[in-house]
Amino acid sequence: MIARYLQARVKSFGYAFNGLKVLLLTQPHARLHALSTIAVLTLGTALQLRRWEWVAILLCIGMVWMAEALNTALEFLADEVSLEKRERIGKAKDVAAGGVLITAMISVVVAVLVFWQHLRP
């Protein structure tokens, strides 16, 4: 019984990693987020951010990735329902994309607040 439970958990991680693979292979913005993530982590390491700064940065990174993943999932589901242009599906996609934009913009503001004090002359 425990072995089945553990197998199911391992399998669920496989699905999650496959989802990340799909996200990166199919979404140009996800690849942009990946490059941004690497750049921010590299800069943060070089500047030796304090613990609270890392918390802020990592929360923002996680929120942007989550928003992008949920937006992509919604788009895949909407396209499965109908590939023809439908007003409410278009609105749903736009709202989800807006959520990603909001999260990304707030993350940029947080990054500026965190990094500015380390980079200013």
Which of 68, 75, 80, 87 is catalytic? The answer is 68
CA distance linking residue 15 with residue 20, whole number of Å: 9
Catalytic (active site) residue 68: yes
Q: How does DSSP assign the chain, residue by residue?
A: -HHHHHHHHHHHHHHHHHHHHHHHHH-HHHHHHHHHHHHHHHHHHHTT--HHHHHHHHHHHHHHHHHHHHHHHHHHHHHHH-SS--HHHHHHHHHHHHHHHHHHHHHHHHHHHHHHHHH--
Annotated catalytic sites, by residue? 68
